[in-house]
Amino acid sequence: MRVLCGLRAKGMADVGALAQAAGLSPGQVADVLGELGERNWARYRDASRVRGWMLLGEGRAEAERLAAAEVEDSGLRSVVRELYESFRVLDPKLKTACTDFQVKAGQTLNDHTDPHYDAEVIARLSDINRQVQPILARLAEAVDRFGHYGPRLEHALGQVLGGDLNWFTKPSLDSYHEVWFELHEDLLVTLGIDRAAEEVNESAGA
């Protein structure tokens, strides 16, 4: 289940990334992926720019079914939903911080030559992380499958604070933005919420 749900949240990933997310060894993950491939639930894509495992139709549906069933069967859906609502409050703040880190004043690409500007945005990221960690701790207590997100966000922030700014938003790393997006997707799938519909509702309410 962890491999299925992890791959559903990531969209595409290699064995190492899935092992980190699932809390399993690379060998265990490779074995599961082999089984998924045999069932035609997943396949490995090896293109010039994109490489990794991805779910196919039946595998994607099964991942969504298992994630939803986990909270329904445990009676924890209302708890997860409450924590998700707390997470949602922070989501636009994280999106704005990521945008501001990449583009200054909404117009000029940030070339990171202004340390004071970067420090201000990074301070906002640190504050967001301070607020989200208790939410993730409670989420992990309710559903241990979510336990890896808090440490991964802490690690990404630590790299940024240590001077490696790529860990803020870079897609090819387990960056703060990438882990956050994955967490958001995992919560949506678990609660059976459609991301597109949610974004439309948020825009309408803005």
Tell me: the pLDDT tens digits for 134-181? 999 999 999 988 999 999 999 999 999 999 999 999 988 899 999 999
H or E segment at 124? helix 115-142
Q: What is the pLDDT of residues 27-45, one digit of tens each?
A: 999 999 999 999 999 999 8
Q: What is the pLDDT of residue 146?
A: 92
Higher pLDDT, 49 or 148: 148
Model pTM above 0.75: yes
In sequence order, the 6+-apart residues with CB closer than 8 A to the CB of 29 are 3, 15, 18, 19, 22
Can you list the positions of beta strands (E) in the chain? 42-46, 51-55, 103-104, 108-109
- Tell me the average pLDDT across 110-123: 95
In sequence order, the 6+-apart residues with CB closer than 8 A to the CB of 145 are 1, 2, 5, 70
Encoded tokens for 81: 């939903």
Q: Are 91 and 82 in contact (CB under 8 A)?
A: no
